[in-house]
Amino acid sequence: MGLLAVVLFLPGLVSDGEVESVSYDTFLGRVAASEVATVAIDNQTGQIDFETVDGAEFGTTGPLELSDNDRRVLSDSGVAVTYDTPQPGFLQTWLPLLLPVGLIILFFWWINRRAQGQMTGMMAVGRSKAKLYTTERPSTTFEDVAGYAEVKKEIREVVDFLTEPEKFAEIGARVPKGVLLVGPPGTGKTLIARAVAGEAGVPFLSVTGSDFMEMFVGVGASRVRDLFQSARKMGRAIIFIDELDSIGRKRGAGLGGGHDEREQTLNQMLSEMDGFEDTEGIVMLAATNRPDILDPALLRPGRFDRQVVVPLPELEDRLQILEVHTKGKQVGDNVDLGVVARGSPGMSGADLANLVNEAALTAVRSGEDSIQANHFEEARDRTIMGLKRESMAMTDAEKEMTAYHEAGHALCAAVLPNADPVHKVTIIPRGMSLGVTMMLPEEERYSDNQDHLEDRLAVKMGGRVAEDLVFGVLSNGAGHDLVTATELARKMVREWGMSDAVGPMAWGSHNQVFLGDEMLAAREYSDETARVIDKEVQRILCDQEDRCRKLLTDHRNALDLIARALLEHETISGDEVGRLIGAAASGADPAQGNGSSGETAVTAEPEPAEDPTPVD
């Protein structure tokens, strides 16, 4: 439309030159006086251009049709008169006709493009959704992964194969085609996979297991084919599949039979992996925290034939992880990251990152300009034991019963030889508990013997027995203690062979319902054996309850002192518990000495490795 306006109106707006305009009567007067030499008349617009005898040019506008008198004046004066009828140009002639036709054609072309775009979107459903990370992007290296020296050493072979494949070819060695990273959530499996790609300097295709599944049939298998085709075009590349268990579960399992679409996707992946050539330079990495439910065909040699375990970080690893996450943060001089690492056993890398962040948030809430040691202590308590419920109003009777309940736990943990030392006892409601007794192991422990397990059961019974011993009643406050104690005793009998009546026999724990193995397979033991197992579990729990009752009865004075200190200060440390027990044994006045203090922090913490054991 703009082009049409320019073509039609611009020629009329642009003049050929500067010509003085006069009136039509002046023009006729000059013609009659014989002052005009030539006249040019435009038949379409009535424009009249004339030139005088002395060479001056003028212009005027007359009627489209000259009258007879005007024609007689022009003819009598002998002026050379020319009549001009301008012819329209090509654009002026055809553009008004072609423009509507062009608009109609443009409209249909636009409709056709939209239809093709929709069809392309439908056909693109089968394309892989993998994200490509090339060497041009900022990459992650092993230096960015704190700790896990053994894991990085194990997986460095993959990097060496991708960077120097000829070294392996000379000897005839074959690098595993698939490496499966196995470990609990939050241990950094995905970060390690990205570090492999960054060290190798090759394209890195990242995709999650859920990206293969769609509402359309056959989409998963199509995306697997497209993923491997894209990797082959790159030469040497790494394919990383996160959460492999979402598509790699055992085939033919489940209450309603296997999911056919998921199984077809798994079948396509198995065939693609088995068809690799040694010279293709494609390595598959996958991560999962459920290796027990993967299909056996996925783990056989030639596919994922190497499993790299990424465990929870140990003490040195935790220290390195904390150093990484505290970079760029204002940390006070009184913060010893070694103490924080020893006081956070069982935490993954993600838990440690959250611990540092919680400490920073606590510092901000306190109005401090740096993170202090007490902020880390509060953040750990909040992470392990839960958030304080200071607004919760407890009656004096409930508070006293809670104090004796926690005092029973703390006393048993402090007196029993194989129990973990007490770190802190509080009757401030945290999380879902009215009180918490927190224990930390003294050293890295990778296995538990029967004596240690029995002491743990006795500690769990301490709260229930203390309530019964002091008040003569039982409450539901020991509900969680009984659940965990029963579960532990059942594992001792069924899985670990710690019962003389059952003997050296073990049966695994119940499988998940969605796998269907437990419901479809016959039970591994008879009803008579089930009765023996139940009797043994009951016997173990009753024996430890009687043992706990005798212990609390013998140390009744210490139990009263610990409960009285909790009622007065609400939170006491493990050292204070030990001092009160010693004072009760010697008959000394517990008010003398160091004295108890609320929120007392241990100056020299033990070096634990297991999960901190909060007991409700």
β 613-615/436-439 pair status: antiparallel
- For residue 515, how far is the Cα from the chain centroid? 26
- Band (pLDDT 50/70/90 cuts) for residue 594 is very low
- Going across the sheet that includes 436-439, the strands are 571-573, 422-426, 436-439, 613-615
| pLDDT for residue 544 is more than 90 | yes
Place of tokens 């659940």: 483
User: DSSP code of 581?
Assistant: H
Higher pLDDT residue, 408 or 277? Answer: 408
| pLDDT for residue 405 is more than 80 | yes
Query: Average of pLDDT values for 572-584?
Result: 88
Range among 164-168, 189-193, 490-494 rated most confident:
490-494
Radius of gyration of the chain (CA): 45
Per-chain mean pLDDT for the chain: 78
Query: Average of pLDDT values for 108-123?
Result: 66
- Band (pLDDT 50/70/90 cuts) for residue 312 is confident
The answer to whether 599 and 428 have CB atoms below 8 angstroms apart is no
Query: Average of pLDDT values for 539-551?
Result: 93
Distance CA 204, CA 236 (A): 10
User: Sign of the C-alpha dihedral, residues 207, 213, 217, 218?
Assistant: positive
| pLDDT for residue 319 is more than 50 | yes
Lowest average pLDDT, out of 92-106, 282-296, 532-546, goes to: 92-106
User: Sign of the C-alpha dihedral, residues 339, 344, 348, 350?
Assistant: negative
pLDDT, tens digit, for every residue of 427-472?
888 777 788 888 877 776 777 888 999 999 999 999 999 999 998 8
Amino acid at 267: N
Query: Average of pLDDT values for 91-104?
Result: 77
pLDDT at 275: 58
| pLDDT for residue 520 is more than 60 | no
| 219-233 vs 260-274: helix crossing angle, rounded to 10 | 20
pLDDT at 229: 77
- Band (pLDDT 50/70/90 cuts) for residue 391 is low
Distance CA 405, CA 609 (A): 27
DSSP track, 192-260 = HHHHHHHHHTS-EEEEEGGGG--SSTTHHHHHHHHHHHHHHHTSSEEEEEESGGGT-BPTT-STT---H
pLDDT at 132: 59
pLDDT at 32: 81
pLDDT at 540: 94
pLDDT at 380: 83
pLDDT, tens digit, for every residue of 201-255?
777 787 877 766 665 556 767 777 777 777 777 777 788 888 888 777 777 655 4
Q: What is the dihedral of CA 120, 124, 130, 132, to 10 degrees?
A: -30
| pLDDT for residue 480 is more than 80 | yes
| pLDDT for residue 181 is more than 60 | yes
Distance CA 222, CA 202 (A): 24
Distance CA 384, CA 343 (A): 11
Lowest average pLDDT, out of 168-182, 441-455, 512-526, 528-542, goes to: 512-526
Lowest average pLDDT, out of 159-173, 187-201, 596-610, goes to: 596-610
* Residue 558, burial from CB neighbour count under 10 angstroms (0-12, 13-18, 19+): buried
| pLDDT for residue 363 is more than 60 | yes
pTM here? 0.63
- For residue 266, how far is the Cα from the chain centroid? 24
Q: What is the largest CA-CA distance in the chain?
A: 152
pLDDT at 376: 86
Helix (H, G, I), strand (E, B) or coil at 22: coil
pLDDT at 327: 86
pLDDT at 514: 46
Query: Average of pLDDT values for 349-373?
Result: 88
Higher pLDDT residue, 388 or 80? Answer: 80
By annotation, the residues acting in catalysis are 406
Nearest to 39 by CA among 401, 30, 563: 30
The answer to whether 175 and 211 have CB atoms below 8 angstroms apart is no
pLDDT at 412: 92
User: Sign of the C-alpha dihedral, residues 193, 195, 199, 203?
Assistant: positive
Distance CA 232, CA 225 (A): 11
Distance CA 19, CA 10 (A): 19
Distance CA 70, CA 272 (A): 98
β 36-42/80-84 pair status: parallel
pLDDT at 551: 92
pLDDT, tens digit, for every residue of 260-309?
677 777 777 777 777 555 546 678 888 888 888 888 888 888 788 778 88
Query: Average of pLDDT values for 312-328?
Result: 86
